[in-house]
Chain A
Amino acid sequence: DGGITQSPKYLFRKEGQNVTLSCEQNLNHDAMYWYRQDPGQGLRLIYYSQIVNDFQKGDIAEGYSVSREKKESFPLTVTSAQKNPTAFYLCASSMLLSGRGRAGELFFGEGSRLTVL
């Protein structure tokens, strides 16, 4: 089945450690995204990528890094510089928009829950 796979589902990190969240898609989508969700809040964009080897900062990129070496993969690294990393992280992908009639929605993975001890 086509879809988006995030791993791990749950992750615990000690203060000062970097951790990497994996996101893989087999939908042949060009664009991929990382969102952060805090309890009772909406989704905030961390980074997104429209093409391999290129990505843009979202609204809360500080303390995070990404890479896009393959179309299918968009890993997110939460660095020790991220002051409050405990959150739920969602990866998504979509087709690039070109002309009217394209649906434009994002498809989401099941998320990764990161807890800092």
Chain B
Amino acid sequence: AQTVTQSQPEMSVQEAETVTLSCTYDTSESDYYLFWYKQPPSRQMILVIRQEAYKQQNATENRFSVNFQKAAKSFSLKISDSQLGDAAMYFCAYRSATGASGSRLTFGEGTQLTVNP
């Protein structure tokens, strides 16, 4: 079974600074998807960014970018120019692209990000 590990339960960053959240995963598959979701205090899960494993290029979405290292099974999220609204719990997630297991998403334990003004 696939597992997702987020080793940083809490992180903090100054407004306008850059922060990187770590995520590692364990899988024997070669084709899969990786995601970062954000859960603000409202508890609504919001997709931040996605990465397809077959793409070598790292995904970017405005101030959010990832560092995808397939061989190392690492998928970190970089938030640039941090804003107060970025404060939330961030979850890394894995989804197989093949077979019956391809339907489910496996989440890490989450990293609580605090943004200091």
Contact = CB atoms under 8 A, between A and B. Distances in A.
B91 A88 contact: no
A104 B109 contact: no
A19 interface: no
B95 interface: yes
A103 B110 contact: no
Interface in B66-109: 91, 95, 97-98, 100, 102-109
Given A104-B33, A110-B44, A111-B43, A42 B108 contact: yes
A42 B54 contact: no
Contact of B43 (A48, A56, A94, A110): A110
Contacts of B33: 104-105
B103 A48 contact: yes
B103 A96 contact: yes
Nearest to B97: A97
A43 B107 contact: yes
Interface residues of B, number: 27
A88 B43 contact: yes
A71 B78 CA distance: 37
Contact of B50 (A44, A58, A90, A103): A103
Interface string B23-47: 0000000010101000000111101
B15 interface: no
Contact of A97 (B45, B54, B103, B112): B103
A58 B104 contact: yes
Contacts of B44: 108, 110-111
B35 to A, nearest CB: 6
29 contacts: A31-B103, A33-B104, A35-B107, A40-B9, A40-B112, A42-B107, A42-B108, A43-B91, A43-B107, A44-B107, A48-B104, A58-B104, A90-B45, A94-B105, A96-B103, A97-B95, A97-B98, A100-B97, A103-B50, A104-B35, A104-B50, A104-B52, A105-B35, A105-B50, A106-B45, A106-B105, A108-B45, A110-B42, A110-B44
Given A45-B105, A105-B35, 6 more contacts: A45-B106, A97-B95, A97-B102, A100-B31, A108-B44, A110-B44
